[in-house]
Amino acid sequence: MRRRKFIALVCSGVAGWPLASRAQQAAKLPTIGFLGANNASFAMASIDAFVQRLRELGWIENRTVTIEYRWAEGREARFAEIAAEFVRLKVEVILTYATPSSIAAKKATAVIPIVFAAAGDPVGTGLVASLARPGGNITGLSIQQTDLASKRLEILRELLPGLRTLAILFDTGTPNAVLESGEVQTAVHTLGLDMMTSKVRRVEDIAPAFDALKGRAEALYVCSSPLLTTNRIRVNNLALGIRVPTMYGFRDDIEAGGLMSYGPNLPSLFRRAADYVDKILRGAKPGDLPVEQPTKFDFIINLTTAKILGLEVPPSLVARADEVIE
């Protein structure tokens, strides 16, 4: 009798295995595909802000949601590869930042929702139909990359009142960088300055671009792009080598040795991107969620770099800076 009961118990357990397996499969966590345009070290503060906000909204990594991280290291071909991988994985949402990676994700799928945490000019580059009504499967946050060009030039001229010749470095493979360079050129003409443009497309183009600037440019405006952000230390070392002050859009470039930056606070944008992801995971359609614009901007000065260049930063600029790196 005992033996029969034991066998019946074992058999009932074996019969239950497929059911248990199906239950585990049914309980699969929703997955967010994080398409990193640069690398983990660049995005660490933004990742922390994104994950923290998700937690506040009830999405705890590896408990109630899964995040698949992939890094393109600024290589344009990798954007499409990673986006295609996320489509194969059937993730619930793709999170991007930087315009080229966002465009790659949009080309890869018209079904999976896409949230861009930081896109340079979403309307101008064709990511969305309008800020108020994005349409399709994509929405997110704009960084007003083109709108801030003239403001950056104002700051640069305050530091260098005798500035005559400005060089503009931009990646021709990044649509928002091309648009930004156009805005800078318009501002340069308005101010009556001379101008040089240095165009790059690959890592191998960066050093020759600086060779051409040596002895000719008095300052350098660097348009934001994944290629130049990933290689920001190389860019800054080359700029210091020819003793040219640099103006950027983001704090990370200044931590890497650049002189000054003015632009949106990236971690705050990623916190707000988490709200978009939360709404989409709960059933909202991305096309119905308006694109938002930055509310927090940072002005950063690297006094160590200024000292190396032999520049005296006016106290008025130092007083206005959100952060001074020494």
Residue 130 in domain: yes
Kindly state whether residues 60 and 129 are assigned to the same domain: yes
Kindly state whether residues 60 and 171 are assigned to the same domain: no
Kindly state whether residues 195 and 319 are assigned to the same domain: yes
C-alpha dihedral (230, 234, 240, 241), degrees to nearest 10 = -160
Read off the pLDDT of residues 205-231 as tens digits, 9 standing for 90 and up.
Answer: 999 999 999 999 999 999 999 999 999
Kindly state whether residues 224 and 92 are assigned to the same domain: no
Residue 18 in domain: no
Kindly state whether residues 209 and 111 are assigned to the same domain: no
Q: Where are the alpha helices (DSSP H) in the chain?
A: 2-26, 40-56, 76-89, 99-108, 149-159, 175-191, 206-213, 226-230, 232-241, 251-255, 266-281, 303-309, 315-320
Read off the pLDDT of residues 308-323 as tens digits, 9 standing for 90 and up.
Answer: 999 999 999 999 999 9
Kindly state whether residues 39 and 102 are assigned to the same domain: yes
Read off the pLDDT of residues 122-161 as tens digits, 9 standing for 90 and up.
Answer: 998 899 999 999 999 999 999 876 778 899 999 999 999 9
* Whether the Cβ atoms of residue 53 and residue 67 lie closer than 8 Å to each other: no
Q: Is the pLDDT of residue 193 over 80?
A: yes
Q: What pLDDT score was predicted for residue 27?
A: 62
Task: Count structural domains, the chain.
Answer: 2
Q: What pLDDT score was predicted for residue 58?
A: 97
Kindly state whether residues 315 and 204 are assigned to the same domain: yes
- Among 15-29, 40-54, 178-192, the range scoring the smallest mean pLDDT is 15-29
Mean confidence (pLDDT) of the chain: 90
What order do you get walking across the sheet with 138-142 strand by strand?
66-71, 31-36, 93-96, 114-119, 138-142
Q: What pLDDT score was predicted for residue 40?
A: 84
Read off the pLDDT of residues 158-179 as tens digits, 9 standing for 90 and up.
Answer: 999 999 999 999 999 988 899 9
Q: Domain of residue 188: give its range.
A: 149-264+298-325
Kindly state whether residues 272 and 126 are assigned to the same domain: yes
* Cα–Cα distance measured from residue 241 to residue 18, given in angstroms and rounded to the nearest whole number: 66
Kindly state whether residues 178 and 95 are assigned to the same domain: no
Kindly state whether residues 124 and 34 are assigned to the same domain: yes
**Segment 279-301 mean pLDDT:** 96
Kindly state whether residues 68 and 173 are assigned to the same domain: no
Kindly state whether residues 279 and 253 are assigned to the same domain: no
**Segment 241-269 mean pLDDT:** 95
Residue 1 in domain: no
CATH number of the CATH domain containing 287: 3.40.50.2300
